């Protein structure tokens, strides 16, 4: 058994397809199939079961997976040690995040990191769902809940605030609400109920607002709906500076706090390159959240009460 065969095994296990694994490895599917057959002959057991859904791991494949991941982590850690911790970051790092974080925080934070590390390529994977690190969809992920599996390790990044917001046009047409009871007839904007992938995102239910006629699985769509004057939405405070036509509604009465977690696969904890990137990312996100939230407070403090700017 050699590392090259294990590398092919990991790619097929993660992609669940010879074709997709071949694309990642830059090998044709037939070659990938032959390498898997060679590995199966070496271990004396079938590692994959072909089905209409793709290639799934057999019991033997499930047993081999942790060992293959440990070998991968050891090689990565060894390479990181040879390249030296004091050098600039190089190579490609992919980070997955929910679209609110990916749209309004990660671009500027990652741009700063990339500017200081010209040899680094950063990929931002923005998805309205949990990023699957076990299938190597990304090297790092940001989530709104701490994972419960021991195979993933989490570090709390920062708390962040969310507020109910509406456009200046909406306020001009409907007036500024003075109490939560004034919201009973307002048109609400939120998540598609059966696509709320984390209970932490069920904001409107927490506020007792159950009738939500305008819904999307995308934070950006919800924010742009609010900007168009279509209704009220729960919006990240750190997104408000990019939407000056929105104003917070009843911020002293309606305010939510959530947390971002930086998630890594346990096998990646020995990767010094990812360690350094994670440290830069963590510091940058904390600073950017604080800066943007302070900008919202400063803007609203400069305007007369109960009026849009």
Give the contacts of 138 (CB within 8 A, at least 6 positions apart): 94, 95, 96, 123, 125, 131
| CATH number belonging to domain 3-83 | 1.10.10.10
What pLDDT was estimated at residue 84? 46
Distance separating alpha carbons of residues 197 and 26, to the nearest angstrom:
33
What pLDDT was estimated at residue 82? 45
Q: What is the largest CA-CA distance in the chain?
A: 76
Residues of CATH 1.10.10.10 domain(s) within the chain?
3-83
Distance separating alpha carbons of residues 285 and 268, to the nearest angstrom:
21
What pLDDT was estimated at residue 148? 79
Overall pTM > 0.75: no
pLDDT (tens digit per residue) in 231-246: 999 999 999 999 999 9
**Which one of 3.30.230.70, 3.40.190.10, 3.30.200.20, 1.10.287.610 gives the CATH number of domain 161-256?**
3.40.190.10
What pLDDT was estimated at residue 67? 81
Query: Position of tokens 């040899």?
Result: 119
| CATH number belonging to domain 95-158+260-292 | 3.40.190.10
Q: In the chain, which residues have pLDDT < 50?
A: 79-80, 82-85, 308-309
pLDDT (tens digit per residue) in 192-241: 999 888 888 898 888 888 889 999 999 999 999 999 999 999 999 999 99
What pLDDT was estimated at residue 1? 60
Residues of CATH 3.40.190.10 domain(s) within the chain?
95-158+260-292, 161-256
């Amino acid at each position: 058994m050699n590392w090259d065969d294990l590398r092919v095994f990991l790619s097929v296990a993660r992609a669940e397809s010879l074709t997709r694994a071949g694309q990642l490895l830059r090998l044709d599917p037939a070659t990938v199939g032959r390498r898997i057959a060679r590995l199966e002959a070496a271990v004396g057991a079938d590692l994959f079961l072909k089905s209409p859904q793709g290639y799934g791991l057999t019991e033997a494949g499930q047993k081999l997976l942790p060992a293959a991941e440990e070998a991968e982590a050891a090689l990565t850690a060894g390479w990181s040690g040879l390249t030296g911790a004091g050098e600039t970051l190089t190579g490609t790092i992919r980070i997955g995040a929910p679209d609110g974080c990916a749209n309004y925080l990660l671009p500027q934070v990652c741009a700063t990191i990339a500017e200081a590390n010209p040899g680094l390529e950063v990929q931002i994977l923005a998805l309205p769902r949990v990023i699957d690190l076990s299938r190597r969809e990304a090297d790092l992920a940001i989530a709104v809940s701490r994972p419960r599996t021991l195979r993933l390790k989490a570090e709390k990044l920062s708390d962040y605030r969310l507020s109910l917001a509406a456009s200046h046009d909406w306020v001009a047409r409907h007036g500024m609400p003075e109490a939560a009871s004034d919201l009973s007839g307002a048109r609400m904007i939120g998540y598609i109920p059966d696509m709320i992938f984390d209970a932490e995102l069920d904001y409107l239910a927490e506020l007792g607002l159950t009738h939500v006629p305008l819904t999307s699985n995308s934070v950006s769509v919800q924010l742009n709906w609010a900007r168009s004057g279509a209704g009220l939405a729960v919006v990240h405070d750190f997104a408000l500076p990019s939407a000056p036509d929105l104003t917070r509604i009843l911020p002293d009465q309606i305010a939510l706090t959530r947390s971002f977690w930086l998630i890594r696969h346990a096998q990646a904890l020995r990767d010094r390159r990812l360690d350094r990137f994670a440290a830069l990312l963590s510091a940058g996100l904390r600073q950017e959240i604080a800066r943007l939230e302070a900008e919202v407070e400063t803007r609203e403090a400069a305007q007369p009460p109960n009026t849009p700017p």
